[in-house]
Amino acid sequence: MPLPIAVLHGNFPQGTLDQPCLLDHKDLRVLLHEFGHCLQHVLTRSPHHTLSGISELGRDSAEFAGQVFERWCSSREFLLWLSDHYQTGQRLTEAQVDTALTSINAYDSWPTGQLLMSALFDFELHLAQGDGRTVQQVFDAVQREVPHLNIPSWCRFANSFDYLVTGYEASVYAYKWSGVLASEAFKRFQQEWVFNASTGKEFRETVLAPGGSQSLLQSIEAFLKQPLPLDFFPAAVNRYQTADR
Ligand SMILES: [Zn+2]
């Protein structure tokens, strides 16, 4: 059976003879996110092309694994382990890592707000097709609902919103939804230690190996060994969940 291949390419600063490539926290997050996608792609055991590989998964499933791996970047243990200075070998202290994580978390409201606004804009553009408004007018209407971002019209947000033409039509929201599910799944790693090999193996067996042969929610519940609480879901998903059980 042919084995899947994944290629990870990132837009990171290139190392030189004097200085290796040093990633800032954002780059590290991107690297782990994409690494999660790669593992998801190569560790599937589904023999069916249409049920395996990242491109065959729904957007929420496809983004879920990437977002789970991002969670390691918010782990104090992981950052302490990773933080050897490239020249002195000295590690960051726990206090330094905690300060950095506090700062990172404090500024999370901006990317969260921007993601929610992007998802709303994505929905509205698809709903508004043919109603006579320009793309900018739709964006202006959406931004009135998320006013604190205050993106000026000359920024031309819509012109750089490339998700509209890269296959994410009306599914940008999946980033947020899969992120919520990723946080829930990562709790098990937090409880059992982020370097726990047997927890990682179970994640591989229950989430990565089945690929698209079972639903994302089934995979997560198999990994967590318990059903997700019904009040965890929005009302529409709740109805689906109740009917499914
Ligand atoms: Zn991704």
pLDDT tens figures, 110-159: 888 888 899 999 989 888 887 889 888 999 999 988 878 888 878 888 88
Collapsing DSSP to helix, strand or coil, 156 comes out as coil
Whether residue 154 lies inside any domain: the answer is yes
- Give me ligand 1 centre to Cα 54, in Å: 10
Whether residue 211 lies inside any domain: the answer is no
**Residue 46 structure tokens:** 């589904």
The per-residue pLDDT for 190 is 96
Evaluate the CA torsion angle 216, 222, 223, 226 in order and state its sign. Answer: positive
- Distance between CA atoms of 42 and 51, rounded to whole angstroms? 13
- Give me ligand 1 centre to Cα 93, in Å: 31
H-assigned helices in the chain: 25-42, 59-70, 76-82, 94-106, 109-127, 135-145, 173-192, 197-203, 216-224, 235-244
Whether residue 173 lies inside any domain: the answer is no
The per-residue pLDDT for 234 is 65
Whether residue 118 lies inside any domain: the answer is yes
Domain hosting residue 117, numbered range: 109-165
In the chain, how many domains are there?
A: 1
The per-residue pLDDT for 238 is 52
The per-residue pLDDT for 34 is 95
The per-residue pLDDT for 156 is 85
- Distance between CA atoms of 103 and 25, rounded to whole angstroms? 12
- Give me ligand 1 centre to Cα 127, in Å: 25
1 residue type, one letter:
M
Whether residue 127 lies inside any domain: the answer is yes
- Give me ligand 1 centre to Cα 133, in Å: 31
Residue appearing with tokens 């320009």? 134
- Give me ligand 1 centre to Cα 87, in Å: 32
- Distance between CA atoms of 122 and 204, rounded to whole angstroms? 32
Residue appearing with tokens 């302490």? 80
- Give me ligand 1 centre to Cα 148, in Å: 26
Long-range contacts of 26-34 (CB under 8 A, 24+ apart): 28/73, 28/82, 29/70, 29/73, 32/69, 32/70, 32/72, 32/73, 33/66, 33/67, 33/69, 33/70, 34/8, 34/10, 34/66
Whether residue 239 lies inside any domain: the answer is no
- Give me ligand 1 centre to Cα 74, in Å: 17
The per-residue pLDDT for 244 is 46
**Residues of the chain whose pLDDT is less than 70?**
1, 55-56, 234-245
Whether residue 88 lies inside any domain: the answer is no
- Give me ligand 1 centre to Cα 18, in Å: 32
User: In which region does residue 61 sit, left (phi positive, over 0), alpha (psi from -120 to 50) or beta (all else)?
Assistant: alpha
Which residues are identified as catalytic?
34
Residues shown for the chain:
245
Whether residue 100 lies inside any domain: the answer is no
